[in-house]
Amino acid sequence: MKLNYSANNISEFTVGSIVYFVPEFEKISDKQLKAVDTATSGALTTMLESEEFTGAMGEVASVYHPAGFKAGRVVLVGLGEKKEITPDSFRKAAGHVSRYSGLKSSAKAVFYFGKFDDERFYQAVIEGYLLGSWKLLDYKTGDAAEDKTALKEITFVIDNPRQLKRLEKAVERGFIIGEGQTMVRELAFTPSNFLTPQLLSKKAQQLARKYKFTCRVLDEKAIAKEKMGALESVARGSNEPPRFIILEYKGAPAGRKPIVLVGKGVTFDSGGISLKPGLNMHEMKGDMTGAAVVLSTIVTAARLKLPQNVTVLIPATENMPSGKATRPGDIITARNGKTIEIINTDAEGRLILADALDYANEFKPQAVLDIATLTGASLFVLGYSGAPIMGNNDKLLTRVKEASEATAERVWELPLWDDFYDRMKSSIADLVNSGGRAAGTACAGAFLENFIGDYPWAHIDIAYVDLEPKGRPYIPAGPTGIGLRLLIEVLSAWKKL
Ligand code: BES
Ligand code: MN
Ligand code: ZN
């Protein structure tokens, strides 16, 4: 997609559509909007009087053949009430317009910001457009495999020519972040036969070469040598060997300790011997979304040249039943030496994270953040609306909350009470991997804390928020890619804890 920047008058552009972002209005007072109204013999006034278009969020309408305009139509997009406009209003509006049928006949469009001059708005618009229009067509054939309606060229237009450089910078940032988030969606949606642990590690290697960060992959032998017994216990049941992926991006001097990101990489979660019910089991191809988020985060950090050292750890495995699979009741030993009684083989995510959180110590991290589709119970905590977070360091959790505010990827903190630690104690081993259904999300967090080192740690549970059931303005039904914007914001705003 080609991106251009301009401060020319919107009547000057020879494009299919001028997309005009407008706040809710009661009368047409804005100069540019008046010009559009005049050029369409009062079509805008008529639309306003009939309440066909008032600028409310979600409204999109076209006026055609504006006199004196080189473009064939002006597409008006509502931003909602003026006082309540945030970057996410622009993201949502751009999401709405990205699927607007009136835009689909245009190969080229202008996106016009009217009076709004704020870099966060510019960035949000390109993010919203990329996210809202995303679809995965790789597995279709013939005509259906091609999206012929996508825009090929967008020119971003503002009034103030002195802002142009900042416009360009912000849009480029938004483009890279938008692509980062759609990459998460693409990986999450990729079927497990196209994305085994081995294939995921190959993908990571390719991306590392392309974006110039390092990649090391531990195979099943190296994993055994590292005594990652928890990861091994999950992988046992599968014919696909596990991989442990280590990525390092150096955006800061070599002496600076890294921020370590850990992502759950279960490429398919059948539940193992504690087999899941058949209904919706196919959705468990997305149980590596945490891995996809951290992989795409390091790619995006490298593309944005963020001035931090970032290390990514991905334990990657399938969770399958077989004659070799770990049984409920088995006791296994994690990398840090703690013994775990396996109550339920479907509580596998916390096991592989346990070994990765312990391995993180090798990097003497400034902080560790893990992200995982960890607990079904999170459906009953925040549903599809936000991700529960937990951790051991208020400053780090505050950072995550601030990043959440800035990116509109919602998180909410759960407490890690002593009750939850008690629930994870075993009568025969040190720990159990499942303490029952009540407070399942917080209990999983408490389990993980048994494996962290002496570092600030935050845990983000993205089960369910990773998969949107209905569709939202810039999140079509399907994988959401949540976490990418959040982690990039945490890294972008990073200062010593
Ligand atoms: N991957 C699942 C969690 C999940 C469920 C994510 C539904 C997205 C949608 C995880 O491995 C799991 O199965 N967790 C169990 C743990 C339980 C056995 C303690 C769960 O939440 O049911
Ligand atoms: Mn599971
Ligand atoms: Zn799982």
- Whether 106 and 220 share a structural domain: no
Catalytic residue among 99, 350, 423, 485: 350
- Whether 441 and 324 share a structural domain: yes
Give the domain extent around 251.
182-492
- Whether 307 and 399 share a structural domain: yes
The answer to whether residues 465 and 482 touch, using CB atoms and an 8 Å cutoff, is yes
254 belongs to a structural domain: yes
Catalytic residue among 115, 202, 257, 276: 276
What distance in angstroms lies between residue 284's CA and the mean position of ligand 3's atoms? 7
What's the helix, strand, coil split of the chain in %, to 5?
40, 20, 40
Ligand 1 proximity of 346 Cβ (cutoff 6 Å): yes
Query: Within 13 Å, how many C-alpha atoms sit on residue 227's CB side?
Result: 9
Number of independent structural domains in the chain: 2
253 belongs to a structural domain: yes
Tell me the pTM.
0.98
Helix (H, G, I), strand (E, B) or coil at 237: coil
426 belongs to a structural domain: yes
- Whether 340 and 384 share a structural domain: yes
What distance in angstroms lies between residue 375's CA and the mean position of ligand 1's atoms? 4
Cα(263)–Cα(288) distance, integer angstroms: 8
Ligand 1 proximity of 434 Cβ (cutoff 6 Å): yes
- Whether 266 and 374 share a structural domain: yes
Q: In this structure, which residues have their CB less than 5 angstroms from ion ligand 2?
A: 269, 346, 348
166 belongs to a structural domain: no
Residue 213's nearest CA partner among 307, 319, 145, 301 is 301
Cα(453)–Cα(50) distance, integer angstroms: 63
Cα(359)–Cα(456) distance, integer angstroms: 15
Pairing of strands 339-341, 411-413: unpaired
- Whether 291 and 344 share a structural domain: yes
497 belongs to a structural domain: no
113: CATH: 3.40.220.10
Best substitution site from 346, 348, 351, 467 to test ligand 1's pocket, by max atoms within 8 Å of Cβ? 346
- Whether 329 and 233 share a structural domain: yes
- Whether 255 and 211 share a structural domain: yes
Residue by residue, pLDDT tens for the chain (497 residues) are 999 999 999 999 999 999 999 999 989 988 999 999 999 999 999 999 999 999 999 999 999 999 999 999 999 999 999 999 999 999 999 999 999 988 888 899 999 999 899 999 999 999 999 999 999 999 999 999 998 888 999 999 999 999 999 999 999 999 999 999 999 999 999 999 999 999 999 999 999 999 999 999 999 999 999 999 999 999 999 999 999 999 999 999 999 999 999 999 999 999 999 999 999 999 999 999 999 999 999 999 999 999 999 999 999 999 999 999 999 999 999 999 999 999 999 999 999 999 999 999 999 999 999 999 999 999 999 999 999 999 999 999 999 999 999 999 999 999 999 999 999 999 999 999 999 999 999 999 999 999 999 999 999 999 999 999 999 999 999 999 999 999 999 999 999 99
The answer to whether residues 340 and 429 touch, using CB atoms and an 8 Å cutoff, is yes
What distance in angstroms lies between residue 192's CA and the mean position of ligand 2's atoms? 15
175 belongs to a structural domain: no
- CB contact burial 208-244 (16+ within 10 A = b; e otherwise): beeeebebebbebeebeebbbbbbbbbbbbbebbbbb
User: Does the annotation count 31 as an active-site position?
Assistant: no
Cα(452)–Cα(335) distance, integer angstroms: 11
390 belongs to a structural domain: yes
User: Does the annotation count 276 as an active-site position?
Assistant: yes
What distance in angstroms lies between residue 213's CA and the mean position of ligand 3's atoms? 28
The answer to whether residues 188 and 36 touch, using CB atoms and an 8 Å cutoff, is no
Ligand 1 proximity of 377 Cβ (cutoff 6 Å): yes
Nearest CA to ligand 1 atom 8: 463
Copy the structure tokens of residue 178: 């938008």
